[in-house]
Chains A and B, each alone.
Chain A
Amino acid sequence: MGLFDRHAGLLEAYRDVRTTGYDPFQIRMERVLSPTEAIINGRKTLLVGTNNYFGLTFDPSCMEAAIEAIRAEGTGTTGSRIANGSYSEHVALEKEIAAFYGKKHCMVFTTGYQANLGIIATLAGPDDFLLIDADSHASIYDACKMTQAEVVRFKHNDPKSLEARLRRLGDKPGNRVVVLEGIYSMLGDSAPLREFVDVCKKHGAYVLIDEAHSLGALGEHGRGLCEATGVIDDCHFIVGTFSKTLGAIGGYCVSDDPDFDILRVTVRAYMFTASLPPSIVASVRQALRVVQAKPELRTQLWNNVATLYDGLKAQGFILGPEHGPVVGVHLPDRMTAIGFWRAMLDAGIYVNVAVPPATPNGVSLLRCSLCAVHTREQLEHMVEVMTGIGRQFGVLPSQPELRVAGARS
């Protein structure tokens, strides 16, 4: 058996995808023009699939901070924090993130993936228990492959399902660590965090929440779902990323646990990888300041969410369960999703296509992510384009119902 033979099924599916024209998994942006536009296939394309929630990738103050840092400290650190030392800016960034959450400790990672992988795999040891939401991100599942703890899944966003699993553990010794996400990345739905926290308290379980998609978007100060639901103090570990709202790359974990820093010499995903370069650290520090100084970006983001979500819903599209910075549009099957995606790209709009096995319950989705700096006109145009394609593909009824003007007030 050849090395690649076991991927035969996947290769075949991938070939199907590619025969439709473009390869959604190898899209090339010939030139990125702004947080919301790029040249793709030679034409100016509206970007609605970048996770760039506040549009900070082109924020002048963040860009300047990065440029200044390169001039001052060079392009890279060329080594890991434990072997080659930290720069003062790494430490300053950690202090600022800890202060942002009102927590005592923070560890910064080179990617958000590594933050989840390292923290989750290491926190729970051989006699402990990890309880994860069924729709968890791949980084959480990968951590579960690395951990020595016993891992059990509970039903997505279902505190009762978690409670049943905690109850079944009875009085078995060992720590219980429950892993949740603020906003789930495929359908944009958020966790019933307060209910989850109540269950965890009742059963003495630690709570770890990944705020990757909710940082900036949720809470009065943009700290995420933990702030929006008033349970920051009950979340023992908060993980997040710099690659979405903060417009760069990297990850973090904050905690009040007095022994938290021991993780710096036990988490391999932290120890054996190069640290973030000065430019990234600088732009992230500035982006965090912008998030705190400009709450209007959050308002703009949610206004844009409403324009897209409500616009698509009014046309009859089947969407994720609630407003969120990610809007998942359900399509009947994989090939329809890929054809729809391609038609949108031809019309100058880029979104993500998500098909099994990357999606929960085997659904096929167009995954749209909003940006605070999308204009209302851009999004209304997008609803119009998607409605047209939806009718062509038979996803929406082909004849719009005749309505009396003003009847739908």
Chain B
Amino acid sequence: MLLSTTHEMTVANDGMIETFTRVRDVSRAEVIREICHHLEPYQNGEQPIVGDTVIAKDLTIDSLAIMDMVMELEDRFDVSIPMSVIAEIHTVNQLADTILDLSASN
């Protein structure tokens, strides 16, 4: 839903870049919130999950569970992340940026 809104706003607005940047900022927080929500069950002790958290190292999640989480995020934000791209993603920030980049290019 978020992304169709983004798309419509971008198309409908003349000041496209400005609109896009603004919407993108909002979306980024939303995307990160969603990622953190999915990662919560794998939190390592009291260590908080932040943008720089290295998903496979700092948390107790295994590679298969990462790929399953990515599938959920794909459907939530209506993007597809190729497996080769997933392999290059290390941090929460990188995952969020990948989702935002892909949704922007849709």
Query: What residues make up the interface of A, taking CB atoms closer than 8 Å to B?
Result: 134, 144, 150-155, 161, 164-165, 168-170, 356-357, 360-362
Contacts and interface: CB of A to CB of B under 8 A. Distances in A.
Given A134-B68, A153-B67, A362-B64, A161 B83 contact: no
Contacts of B75: 161, 164
B62 A357 contact: yes
In this complex, which of A153, A154, A164, A361 has the most chain B Cβ atoms within 10 angstroms of its Cβ? A153
Given A168-B78, A168-B106, A153 B64 contact: no
A134 B63 CA distance: 13
Interface string B66-106: 01100100110011111110000000000000000000001
A356 B64 contact: yes
B6 to A, nearest CB: 15
Contacts of A361: 68
A151 B67 CA distance: 12
Contacts of A356: 62, 64
A153 B79 contact: no
A151 B84 contact: yes
B9 interface: no
Interface residues of B, number: 17
B83 A152 contact: yes
A152 B81 CA distance: 7
Interface string B34-73: 0000000000000000000000000000111101100100
A152 B82 contact: yes
Contacts of A151: 82-84
In this complex, which of B71, B79, B80, B81 has the most chain A Cβ atoms within 10 angstroms of its Cβ? B80
A151 B68 CA distance: 14
B80 A152 contact: yes
Nearest to A169: B80
Interface of B: 62-65, 67-68, 71, 74-75, 78-84, 106
Contacts of B79: 168
Nearest to A160: B75
Contacts of A360: 64
A115 B64 CA distance: 24
Contacts of A170: 106
A155 B71 CA distance: 7
Contact of A362 (B62, B71, B106): B62
A357 B67 contact: no
Contact of B64 (A154, A168, A357): A357
B68 A144 contact: no
Contacts of A154: 71
B84 A153 contact: no
22 contacts: A144-B83, A150-B84, A151-B82, A151-B83, A151-B84, A152-B80, A152-B83, A153-B83, A154-B71, A161-B71, A164-B74, A164-B78, A165-B74, A165-B80, A168-B78, A168-B80, A169-B80, A170-B106, A360-B64, A361-B68, A362-B64, A362-B65
B80 to A, nearest CB: 5
A107 to B, nearest CB: 26
A170 B79 CA distance: 11
A128 to B, nearest CB: 12
A144 B87 CA distance: 12
Contact of A150 (B65, B82, B106): B82
Given A150-B82, A151-B83, 14 more contacts: A134-B71, A151-B82, A152-B82, A152-B83, A154-B71, A161-B75, A164-B75, A169-B80, A170-B106, A356-B64, A357-B64, A360-B64, A362-B64, A362-B65
Nearest to B62: A357
A159 to B, nearest CB: 14
B66 to A, nearest CB: 11
Contact of B67 (A134, A165, A169): A134
Given A144-B83, A362-B62, A153 B71 contact: yes
